[in-house]
Amino acid sequence: MSKREWVQGFIDNLKASGMKINFFVQACCTSVIKCADLLPELRRLGLFKIMLGAESPFTDVLKLLNKGMQNRNIITRAMDLVKRNDILLLIMMIWGTEHDTEESLVQELEFFGRYADFISPGMLTPYPGTGLYESLKDKNVITVDDLSMYDQLHVIMPAGTMTYMETVATYRKNLFLHYNINWKTYRSLFSKNKFLQRIQWYYFLLIWSTFYKDLMAFGQDHFRKHIIHEKEYDRIMNG
């Protein structure tokens, strides 16, 4: 949705084709605002979900993520536009920067939870080859070098002034509480909207399975993810 002309062309072509489809898009907040008047027609043509890259409501975090043009007001406006058009809203958020704390995680979940049908939590993940990776490597804060863990689900480095294990515990605990002590979660699990119900069940089960794995790994300070093609992965990692 970054180019309004492309979105208009997509609408025109989809209408001309006569196809009946359900589809979702991934977009940043400014793109949603740019295409605000096109959302009703997209919804009519089958748009059921927007994955919104809101990242964080905090200015210092957005600046670190090179999202300096984005702010809390822009994020709120974009979220409101999506919900006004009766489109499911999946928020993609990021936590785990040098500015983050447990309080910021709670505030972030509460802020996005006012609008979002579901939140896709993501740990800050410095992928090798990026400027962020080089910067954090120079600061010697990257704790995990196992690339199988670089999936935005696992903690790669400490957040703020916390230790690595404190960061893991804080992240897991607050996600577990958010998804389990939240009336919206249980309402969505039995929603008449099949898309909302299916996606909410996925996240609900993911949180519980992660909680179970954490219990089984209690006391460990090193985590390893099961890799289907483990021999191939080890060969690549070992050169």
Structurally, the chain folds into a number of domains equal to 1
Extract the tokens encoding 20: 């009946």
Name the strand (E) or helix (H) holding 214.
Answer: helix 194-216
Residue 235 lies in a domain: no
Which residue range forms the structural domain that includes residue 194? 4-218
pLDDT, tens only, 48-87: 999 999 999 999 999 988 887 899 999 999 999 999 999 9
Q: Where does the pLDDT of residue 111 fall: very low under 50, low under 70, confident under 90, or very high at 90 and above?
A: very high
- % of the chain residues with pLDDT over 70: 89
In a domain, 62, yes or no: yes
Least-confidence region, from 89-93, 96-100, 182-186, 211-215: 211-215
Q: Measure the CA–CA gap between 214 and 170, rounded to whole angstroms.
A: 12
170-199: average pLDDT? 88
86 inside domain: yes
Confidence of residue 233 (pLDDT cuts 50, 70, 90): low
Q: Which two tokens stand for residue 176?
A: 């577990």
In a domain, 59, yes or no: yes
pLDDT-derived band at 186 (thresholds 50, 70, 90) equals: confident
Q: Can you read off the two tokens belonging to residue 169?
A: 């515990």
Residue 18 lies in a domain: yes
Res. 1: pLDDT tops 80: yes
Most distant CA atoms of the chain, gap in Å: 60
The answer to whether position 227 is within a domain reads no
Q: What is the pLDDT of residue 217?
A: 59
**231 inside domain:** no
Contact at 8 Å (CB) between 118 and 200? yes
The pLDDT of residue 209 is: 79
For the chain, helix (H) and strand (E) counts, in that order, are 11, 4
Length of the chain: 239
- Specify if 11 maps to a domain: yes
Cβ(87)–Cβ(39) below 8 Å: yes
Coil, strand or helix at 43: helix
Q: What is the pLDDT of residues 10-42, one digit of tens each?
A: 999 999 999 999 999 999 999 999 999 999 999
Question: What pLDDT sits at residue 58?
Answer: 96
pLDDT digits 0-9 by tens, 163-178? 999 998 899 899 888 8
| CATH number of the domain where residue 157 is located | 3.30.750.200
The pTM of this model reads 0.83
CA 138 – CA 134 distance, rounded (Å): 6
Whole-number pLDDT of residue 6: 96
Look-up: residue for tokens 């999946």? Answer: 90
Average pLDDT, the chain: 89
Q: What is the mean pLDDT of residues 128-139?
A: 92
Query: Could you tell me the pLDDT band of residue 88, with boundaries at 50, 70 and 90?
Result: very high
